[in-house]
Structures are given as C-alpha cells and as structure tokens.
Amino acid sequence: MRARRIRGRRRKTIRKIFVTVVMLVIVFFSYIEFQIQPSVMDLTEIKAQTLATEAINTGVYNAVKRLNLTYDDLAVIKYTSDNKVASISTNTVNVNKLKAEVSLETQNQLDELQHREFNYYLGDLTGFELLNGLGPSLVVRLNFSSSVETEVKNSLESAGINQTQSTIEIKVKAEIYLTSDEEYPNAVVETTIPVAQTIIVGELPNYLPISRYY
C-alpha cells in the first residue's frame, strides 16, 4: 500500500511538472508572438530597405556605365544670338533608353535578393543591450519580389554670376514585397542619383523651371 501511494504521488508530481512545462512553453511562444514578432518585422523591413537601396545604386551604376551617356547625349542647350539660353530640350530617345536600362538592371539586382534569410538572436529582440548576441537564433526566410519605376529629372542651380549648374538625375522608386502572404509589410524605397552634369554659361530665361521631370 505504501509503495502504491509513493508511486501515486510520483505520478501526480510528474503530471504537475509536465503541465507546468507545457504552460511555460505556451507562455514563451505567446511572448514570442506578441512581443518579439513586431521587433522581427521592424528589423526585417529595415534590412530589406538597406539591401534594396544597395541593389538600386548598383543597378543605376551598371546601367549608366554600360550606356556611357554624357550630358549632351541627354539634353540640348540652345542659345540666342546674344548668348542667352533660349531653351533646354531633352533627347527623348536617349532619356527613354536610360530609363529602360536602369529599370531592367535595377530589377535584375533586386531579383537576386529573392529567398534571402536573416538570422536574429533572441537577445537582440528584447531591447536590452546586455542580451545582444545571446540566446537561440531565429531564422526569417523572405521571398523578395519588386516593382520598379524610374523618372529622369533635370535640376538647375545657381553656380555663380551668369552660371547655372544643370544636373540630370534619375529617380528610382522600388516597392519591395517581402512575402506572398503579407505577413510582413511592403517596403517602399526611393533614391535619386545624378548621372550627368554641366555648367551653363549665360542668362537663363525666367520661364525655365528649376526642376523638371522627363
């Protein structure tokens, strides 16, 4: 009888320990779900934006280098007989070629980001610096996809007496879709990169806009 009671107490103790462990596991994963996941999403979005910005910069650099277009290839400055600037017109063919090449190369760079993995230590997500780099590692797998829009802009800025600096820039906007099930928010990345520049000597007419998109 005594042995049975002891065995019965042991079984009850084991059940209590088991129930306690299960409850602790549930509490832990609930904490992960409601406290850690927002931090993971925020960090992942920041990393995705950083990677996308690097991809865009590389795409623009490769496209501009490949086309090797100068300012005179993209814009034409016409003067009046008294050496005043009459107009600044656009070489539409070359501008469209630049936009198409940048869009294609940027999209290729972004496509290489597909199926990326990010590793986070649990301590990194608690917000306590002393715990950074500690704890189990969490792996987040993302399926990158994206859409790219490009615009070319000519900006005018005073560079001295009767001198104006004209800068042709390309603006790239990429919307990054991090997952197919919308668990993570989409990230929008915009960057503007100068591709050609010149100094215009002469008085500019007042009707010329300071900034103009093509």
Confidence of residue 100 (pLDDT cuts 50, 70, 90): very high
pLDDT tens for each residue of 109-128: 888 887 777 777 776 666 66
The Cα–Cα gap between 159 and 66 comes to: 30
The Cα–Cα gap between 97 and 102 comes to: 9
Structure tokens at 128: 């306590």
Which among 199, 119, 127 is positioned nearest to 162, based on CA atoms? 199
DSSP 3-state helix, strand, coil percentages of the chain (rounded to 5)?
Answer: 45, 35, 20
User: Cβ distance 85 to 205 under 8 Å?
Assistant: yes
| Residue type at 175 in one-letter notation | E
Mean confidence (pLDDT) of the chain: 77
pTM above 0.75, yes or no: no
Sort 37 into a burial class: Cβ within 10 Å, 0-12 / 13-18 / 19+.
Answer: middle
Residue 119 has φ and ψ, to the nearest 5°, of -110, 130
Structure tokens at 64: 């501009």
Distant-in-sequence, close-in-space partners of 72: CB < 8 Å, separation ≥ 6 = 198
pLDDT tens for each residue of 115-174: 777 777 776 666 666 656 666 677 777 777 788 889 988 888 887 777 888 888 999 988
Looking at the DSSP bridge assignments, the partners of residue 193 are 170
A 10 A CB-CB count for 159 gives 13
Looking at the DSSP bridge assignments, the partners of residue 146 are 176
pLDDT at site 101: 93
pLDDT tens for each residue of 51-83: 888 988 999 999 988 999 888 899 888 888 777
